Each structure stands twice: as structure tokens, then as C-alpha cells.
Amino acid sequence: MTDSENRRRFDRYSAEGVNGSFSYSVEALVLNISLGGFAVRTGTQLSVGRVYRFRLGAGSDAVHLSGAVRWCRMAGTEKHETGDIVPVYEAGVAFDEVFSEQADHLRSFMEKSIVVDVKKRIFGRFKADQTEAVRLEADSRFLVRQISRTGVLVEAEIPLKQEEVIDLELRLGRRKFASTARVAHVAEIKVEDDNLQYRLGLEFIKTEQKYRDLLEDFIRGQVEEEKAEGTSERDE
């Protein structure tokens, strides 16, 4: 690769007004459950009010639900195999409206997962017989600060983990760009009123050709705009 090709590959351009979203997931363990919600333990702090999608059970008895986080608190710490001490959180999630068929599947899941007969006490909250693993999935929006042919620099409210792989979408004008990306780096930044945001470097790793072409067209337009602005400033 020539020097000019290398510069072309990694040149970054401003992306004012470009935003997007990414999908991410959080591993959690179910502590207790009712027909109205459940409590979970997780290594990630959950944002109160955020809605997550999840699946309970497997096969024909699986039920797909969504729910909002009502509370989240630090419950302690644990030591990883690496020797790092990390926080552990517990959170309560209230299910969104559960329809009749979903309720039947949820009741079936509960009957297999808890000791108490839920037919007699369906409004109670019951401890899981064996801690059930669940994957909480959600979407989060971000603002693009810089863009290149190989990735983007964004500001987001979710602290993704370095090397994590995510699916993202960008709105490039009226068109949508989609790709799988790797989290190359993460940094905390403070915004107004000391609220924390995170600056994420995301590297595209799996992008369909039609989206690569779309990105190339967008960047070409950015370059032309920058040249036009530079010419206008010189004329003035």
C-alpha cells in the first residue's frame, strides 16, 4: 500500500449532524421473578428507565418479553480470574404489558424454575430454584464526531467494553449505513452538569459492499464540502 493509499484509508472527517444507534447485550442472572417483573444480578450497571428485550426459557416454552429498569444498586464486588476486583449490581425490571399467550409461557417458565406452585400464588414474587441466565438486549443512540472509511469516533451514554463486537447503524443524510464494528477504545468524558458520556472508537469489521459504497459517497461529499469552504474563505 502506498503512502497516499494509507492516508486515504485512515483519514478522518468531521461528521456534524450524523447520529446512529448500536445494539448491545448484558449478561445477567435471574434472582427472583413474578408475572410482573424480575430481579437480576449483573456485572454492568443498568440505566433506570432503559427498556431491555430478553428471552426466558427455551424451545416451545420460551417467552420473549421487554421491560424497563425500575431500580439498580451496587450489591458488592467479585474477583475475576484475572485478579481484577469488579462491581456487581442488582436491578429490578418491570415487564411491559404481558398478553395472554405470553403470560401462559411465562407461567410455564416459572413453574419449571421455582419451587412454589404459581397457580395458587400467581401474584407473588418467587426465588428461582436454580439461578437462570438471561441476556438483556437494548439499543442506544450516539452522536458521530469523526468518520473514516474504517470506523467512527462517537459519543454515547453506554460504556461498552474494549474489543466488544456490536451491530451499528448510521444515518448518512437520508440513507442508512449498517455494519458490525469492534470497540477499539473507550474513554470517559464529562458533559454539562457533570453527566458522564463515553467517547468510543468503533472500527468497522463486517460491512456489506452496498454500505461501503454508501460510506464512500458520503465521505466524498464531505471532502468536496471542505474544499468548497476552504475556497470560499480564501476568496474572502
Q: Which residues on neighbouring strands pair with residue 178, listed in sequence order?
A: 169
25-137 adopts what CATH topology?
A: Thrombin, subunit H (2.40.10)
Q: Where are the domains of the chain?
A: 3-22+138-235, 25-137
Average pLDDT over residues 13-32: 85
Report d(CA 42, CA 52) in Å as an integer: 14
One-letter-per-residue 3-state SS of the chain: CCHHHHHHHHCCEECCCCEEEEEEEEEEEEEEECCCEEEEEECCCCCCCCEEEEEECCHHHCEEEEEEEEEEEEEEEEECCCCCEEEEEEEEEEECCCCHHHHHHHHHHHHHHECCCCCCCCCCCEEEEEEEEEEEEEEEEEEEEEECCCEEEEEECCCCCCCCEEEEEEEECCEEEEEEEEEEEEEEEECHHHCEEEEEEEEEEECCHHHHHHHHHHHHHHHHHHHHHHHHHHHC
Report d(CA 210, CA 222) in Å as an integer: 19
Architecture of the domain whose range is 3-22+138-235: Beta Barrel (2.40)
Report d(CA 140, CA 154) in Å as an integer: 12
Instruction: Give the residue from 99, 150, 116 showing the smallest Cα distance to 34.
Output: 116
Amino acid in the structure at residue 204 = F
Quick one: pLDDT band at residue 5, thresholds 50, 70, 90? very low
Q: Is residue 13 a contact partner of residue 219, using CB atoms and an 8 Å limit?
A: yes
pLDDT for the residue numbered 236: 55
Average pLDDT over residues 2-19: 61
Lowest mean pLDDT among 37-46, 90-99, 185-194, 214-223: 185-194
Quick one: pLDDT band at residue 127, thresholds 50, 70, 90? low
| pLDDT of residue 7 exceeding 50 | no
Average pLDDT over residues 142-170: 91
| Same topology between domain 3-22+138-235 and domain 25-137 | yes
pLDDT for the residue numbered 150: 93
Amino acid in the structure at residue 105 = H
HSE-CB at 171 with a 13 A cutoff on CA atoms is: 11
| pLDDT of residue 8 exceeding 50 | no
Report d(CA 53, CA 5) in Å as an integer: 43
| pLDDT of residue 46 exceeding 70 | yes
